[in-house]
Amino acid sequence: MADLRITVIEADATAVTAPLLVLPHFERERRPLGAAVALDRAVGGGITRLLEAGDFRGKKDESLVLYPRDGESAAERLLLVGLGKREECTAERVRRALGTAVRQAERLGVGELAVSLDALDEASERMGAYQAARAALEGAILAAWDFRELKTKLEEDAPRAQVNAITLVARGSEEAREFCDAARFAQAAAGAENLARSLASRPGNVATPSHLAQVAEALGREHGLLVTVLDRAAMRGEGLGALLAVAQGSEEEPRFIVLEYRGGAQDQRPLALVGKGVTFDSGGISIKPAEKMEEMKYDMSGAAAVLGALRAVAELELPINVVGLIPATENLPSGRAIKPGDVVTSHLGKTIEIVNTDAEGRLILADALAYARRFQPQAILDAATLTGAVVVALGNHAIGLMGNDGDLIDEVRAVGQRVGQRCWPLPLWDEYREQLDSQVADIKNTGGRPAGTITAAWFLKEFVGDTPWAHLDIAGTAWRDDALPYLRKGATGVPTRLFVEWVRSRAEAR
């Protein structure tokens, strides 16, 4: 799908020619706000009347379309979208409002929208022009994405139009400059998240480990990333025993993918992003039930986010060094597959007793995390659809966050809050470690039912050494069964924007 075209113009909102002009509005405010003041005058008080009548209340996700008469305004349609209460207004509300606007535009058969953000002045989160525009554009870019590449014809209930262009209306040159900066960031970050969503939506027979490697290599060529891809033989050479153990049951060739972005000083230690890349998880010999097994194509959502994030970081030319690490394989049963009870030797040298072949994510991540040592990263952040237990703990509303460094955990939480990809911490107390004690090997790969998300993270912790590390369990958040105003159901792209924002904030801090 083509990118959304974004234009910033300096203009009086009444003079903006567009098929649809979007006007955000706060709940309970009975007077027109921002650009709506002048437009209300142009349409003979029509906005005031509908606000006073309570026909539009500005509740979050609410919207109402208005048709000015000929000559009243340069815009053919005005779309009021609700933000909820002013004092509760967050970037997430703005993302939702623009998502709603995009959906309405699709329904109305309008492919281009103009947006005024004037009403957002004094929004409670103290959003400046930059933050408001960034959230608005992220919401629009994410909302406009759709996964249609495997359909040969349009469906009956398909929207009448696809939104392909957005014009942001600025009040002056300073605001225009901030809107342009916001547009550049939103385009990179939300565009990268859409790439991750496309990858995670692709079925297992399309998005194979070698497909992920090809995507990485293409990114390398287009954006000047150094990309290294290891095949089975090279993995053997590097002693990636845990990754190879998972891959041995599959005919499909595994890949270990390394992407290096160098935007910082030669001697600066990089940030490491690690993503689980299980392109299909059947469970292996410990096979999963058939129900919803088809969804296990998104078990490479962590990997997709790493690919997306590296593209965004390179596009933005952030002044920092970043390395992305992706262990990619299928997890299938076969005559060659690993069996419960097997013991394998990991890249770090630790031996692992495989009690359950469906706990494969931690095996491949163990090798990737240990491999990261050679880059001497300043910090490691991994993302993995690792445990069903995180859905039991947090549902679909938060990423499970764990790690070995309190400051990094706080930092990642704050980053997640900013981008609307909330994380919630779970403890890695020593007591939990005993659940992984093995009779025959150094560690076993499952710790039983209790605290399944924590014991999975504890397993990973055994392979990171002293490097500050945080782990995101995205099993509950990488896929949605229902839609948000700015996200269709299906792959969410989580945590691509979190990754990008983390790297951006680290790059800015130096």
The length of the chain in residues reads 510
User: Which among 55-63, 114-122, 246-254, 385-393 is the span making contact with ligand BES, rule CB under 6 A?
Assistant: 385-393
Out of 175, 178, 193, 360, the only residue in the binding site for ligand BES (CB under 6 A) is 360
C-alpha 64/C-alpha 35 separation (Å) is 16
Residue in this structure with the two tokens 């704050």, named with its chain if needed: 414
| Structural tokens at position 172 | 């002056």
Cβ neighbours of residue 61 closer than 8 Å, sequence gap 6 or more = 82, 96, 97, 100, 485
Out of 299, 315, 382, 462, the only residue in the binding site for ligand BES (CB under 6 A) is 299
- Cβ closest to ligand BES, residue 44 vs residue 388: 388
Residue 106 binds what, of Zn ion, ligand BES, Mn ion, none (CB under 5 to 8 Å, by partner type)?
none
Catalytic, out of 177, 288, 373, 422? 288
Catalytic, out of 96, 202, 362, 506? 362
CB of residue 433 to ligand BES, shortest distance in Å: 15
By CB under 5 A, how many residues form the interface with Zn ion? 4
C-alpha 95/C-alpha 81 separation (Å) is 11
CB of residue 281 to Zn ion, shortest distance in Å: 4
In Å, how far from its chain's centre is CA 88?
Answer: 24
DSSP annotation of 377 reads -
**Can you point out the beta strands (E) in 29-162?**
63-66, 78-82, 112-116
Residue in this structure with the two tokens 């993503």, named with its chain if needed: 275
CB of residue 356 to ligand BES, shortest distance in Å: 4
Tell me if residue 151 is catalytic: no
Q: Does 146 bind Mn ion (CB under 5 A)?
A: no
Residue 395 binds what, of Zn ion, Mn ion, ligand BES, none (CB under 5 to 8 Å, by partner type)?
none
Out of 14, 104, 346, 387, the only residue in the binding site for ligand BES (CB under 6 A) is 387
User: Which among 6-14, 71-79, 150-158, 358-366 is the span making contact with Mn ion, rule CB under 5 A?
Assistant: 358-366
CB of residue 188 to ligand BES, shortest distance in Å: 27
CB of residue 391 to Mn ion, shortest distance in Å: 13
Q: 24, 13 in Cβ contact below 8 A?
A: no
By CB under 5 A, how many residues form the interface with Mn ion? 2
Nearest residue to ligand BES on Cβ basis: 388
- Cβ closest to Zn ion, residue 24 vs residue 249: 249
CB of residue 288 to Mn ion, shortest distance in Å: 7
CB of residue 461 to ligand BES, shortest distance in Å: 16
C-alpha 302/C-alpha 199 separation (Å) is 11
| Structural tokens at position 440 | 């025959």
| Structural tokens at position 19 | 């098929």
Q: Give me the DSSP letters along 181-206.
A: HHHHHHHHHHHHHHHHHHHHHS-TTT
Q: Which of the residues 288 through 307 are near Zn ion (CB under 5 A)?
A: 299
Q: Does 106 bind Zn ion (CB under 5 A)?
A: no
**Distance set, CA 442 to CA 99, 431, 463 (Å):** 50, 17, 12
By CB under 6 A, how many residues form the interface with ligand BES? 15
Q: Does 367 bind Mn ion (CB under 5 A)?
A: no
Cβ neighbours of residue 334 closer than 8 Å, sequence gap 6 or more = 249, 250, 251
C-alpha 273/C-alpha 381 separation (Å) is 5
C-alpha 280/C-alpha 207 separation (Å) is 9
Tell me if residue 362 is catalytic: yes
Q: Does 235 bind ligand BES (CB under 6 A)?
A: no
Cβ neighbours of residue 144 closer than 8 Å, sequence gap 6 or more = 4, 102, 162, 163, 164
Q: 449, 105 in Cβ contact below 8 A?
A: no
User: Which among 44-52, 272-280, 308-316, 392-400 is the span making contact with Zn ion, rule CB under 5 A?
Assistant: 272-280
- Cβ closest to Zn ion, residue 126 vs residue 292: 292
Angle at 38 between CA 32 and CA 40, to 5 degrees: 55
Q: Which of the residues 436 through 475 are near ligand BES (CB under 6 A)?
A: 446, 452, 475
- Cβ closest to ligand BES, residue 270 vs residue 277: 277
Out of 361, 420, 485, 493, the only residue in the binding site for Zn ion (CB under 5 A) is 361
Out of 33, 129, 140, 278, the only residue in the binding site for Zn ion (CB under 5 A) is 278
DSSP annotation of 157 reads T
Torsion of CA 347, 352, 356, 359, to 10 degrees: -40
Nearest to 73 by CA among 19, 34, 7, 9: 19
Angle at 71 between CA 68 and CA 76, to 5 degrees: 45
User: Which among 47-55, 236-244, 313-321, 353-361 is the span making contact with ligand BES, rule CB under 6 A?
Assistant: 353-361
Task: Catalogue the active-site residues.
Answer: 288, 362
> Which positions touch ligand BES (CB under 6 A)?
281, 299, 356, 358-361, 385-389, 446, 452, 475
> Which positions touch Zn ion (CB under 5 A)?
278, 281, 299, 361
> Which positions touch Mn ion (CB under 5 A)?
281, 358
